[in-house]
Amino acid sequence: MSDSSRYPRATDSMRRPTIRDVARDAGTSKTSVSRYFGAERHRLSESMQARIERSVERLGFRPDRIAASLRGGRTRLIGALVADIRNPYSVALIHAAERACGDAGYSLMVCNTDNDENLERRHLEVLDGYSVDGLILNTVGRNTETLEAMRGRGLPMVLVDRQIDALDCDMVGLDDPQAVAQAVTHLIQRGFARVDLIIEPVAEISSRIARVEAFRTECERHGLAGDVYETALGADSSAELDRHLSELATETRPSAVLCANGVVTLDVCHALQRLAAFDRVGVLGIDELAWCALAGPGITTLAQPVDAIGRAAVERLIARIDGGDEPPTVQRLGATLNVRGSTAIPR
């Protein structure tokens, strides 16, 4: 059997569609199709974008990002490294960043490090191999040498929520001192005399360090009794957390907890439910989650502007990709207080 009979030539139906095929099907030019997949999509009318989108779906067209990079162009890929994709904050952040990327003609490749240094390094190697145009980093940053090397080769990066001192690049996140001050002020105004900050192990994570420092500063400034309680999350720590909350529930002074993020708030609510102590301990959580209005008496929260943070990170990164060379900036956005029953004075 000849090679030609064993490996038949591709027919038109088997051939990978090209930009020319999309342009012909949509009744437009190759330039318009290229703009649709690039930063100039906004220059196309909505009807033109819709026609091209229908042709792309009908033909099954996929742009060859790697070939584009080999021709000296951009891949139009942005990599995102997140420490824990299960965290609701990470989910909301990635959702906002993905929409912002799409609006600008980019695609987002998301890698979850699971707070694992080795996994993070492998993901960085993969993203480097795909020649991403830039990186969004929400990670502890234990692979600073690898990140510095990539940055040294000119790869733009933007940090989200967590600062990495070794990386001289832009950062977007919550204004932690403002958020903690707002929380403590609200609890004092409600009449609480003791407030404990409950937080995951601080380690080297900059946002946790900032929240602890701000909390201690505010307690000292107001003469407020309070302490920082670090806890691992999940079943392994439930008994210890129960003991701590039981102590607060028997305090003679009105007492409350400030939960450092949404995951901590969920664990605290589970514990208070087990202890039937929602009416004896006040609760305020950083992060607004869908269930917060439903748990206990309704949980008072400080909502992070996650959508704005994700979009600002992408915009800042694309500005760098497009050649912006101004000094690195730090953009801190404020939180919004949502008052519910959990910060009413306990009986």
Using DSSP bridges, classify how beta strands 107-112 and 170-174 pair: parallel, antiparallel or unpaired. Answer: unpaired
pLDDT at 65: 58
pLDDT at 232: 83
> Is residue 211 a contact partner of residue 260, using CB atoms and an 8 Å limit?
yes
pTM score, two decimals? 0.78
Residues 6 or more apart whose CB falls under 8 angstroms from that of 331 comprise 170, 171, 172, 173, 312, 316
In the predicted model, what is the mean pLDDT of residues 148-169? 89
* Residue boundaries of the structural domains of the chain: 3-58, 75-173+307-333, 176-304+336-343
pLDDT at 38: 66
In the predicted model, what is the mean pLDDT of residues 245-266? 93
**Mind listing the pLDDT tens digit for each residue in 35-79?**
887 657 778 898 899 999 899 888 888 766 555 554 456 788 999
* Residue 333: alpha-carbon gap to chain centroid: 14
Nearest to 285 by CA among 342, 215, 233: 342
pLDDT at 6: 44
**Mind listing the pLDDT tens digit for each residue in 288-329?**
999 999 988 999 999 999 999 999 999 999 999 998 889 999
> Is residue 260 a contact partner of residue 180, using CB atoms and an 8 Å limit?
no
> One fold for both 75-173+307-333 and 176-304+336-343?
yes
294 is written with which tokens? 């439903």
Specify the CATH number of the domain 3-58.
1.10.260
pLDDT at 11: 47
SS3 string, the chain, reads CCHHHHCCCCCCCCCCCCHHHHHHHHCCCHHHHHHHCCCCHHHCCHHHHHHHHHHHHHHCCCCCHHHHHHCCCCCCEEEEEECCCCCHHHHHHHHHHHHHHHHCCCEEEEEECCCCHHHHHHHHHHHHHCCCCEEEEECCCCCHHHHHHHHHCCCCEEEECCCCCCCCCEEEEECHHHHHHHHHHHHHHCCCCEEEEEECCCCCCHHHHHHHHHHHHHHHHHCCECCEEECCCCHHHHHHHHHHHHHHHCCCCCEEEEECCHHHHHHHHHHHHHHCCCCCCEEEEECCCHHHHCCCCCCEEEECCHHHHHHHHHHHHHHHHCCCCCCCCEEEECCEEECCHHHCCCC
**Mind listing the pLDDT tens digit for each residue in 210-252?**
999 999 999 999 999 989 999 887 666 788 899 999 999 998 9
pLDDT band at 256 (very low <50, low <70, confident <90, very high): very high
- CATH homologous superfamily of 75-173+307-333 equals Response regulator (3.40.50.2300)
User: Over 80: is that where the pLDDT of 1 sits?
Assistant: no
Q: What is the largest CA-CA distance in the chain?
A: 91
Strand partners for 284: 258, 300
| Domain covering 176-304+336-343, topology | Rossmann fold (3.40.50)
> What does the alpha-carbon distance between residue 342 and residue 280 come to, in Å, rounded to a whole number?
10
In the predicted model, what is the mean pLDDT of residues 335-341? 95
pLDDT at 347: 59
Nearest to 253 by CA among 300, 298, 196, 181: 196
Which is more confident, 143 or 179? 179
pLDDT at 131: 84
> Is residue 277 a contact partner of residue 247, using CB atoms and an 8 Å limit?
no
172 is written with which tokens? 């977007």
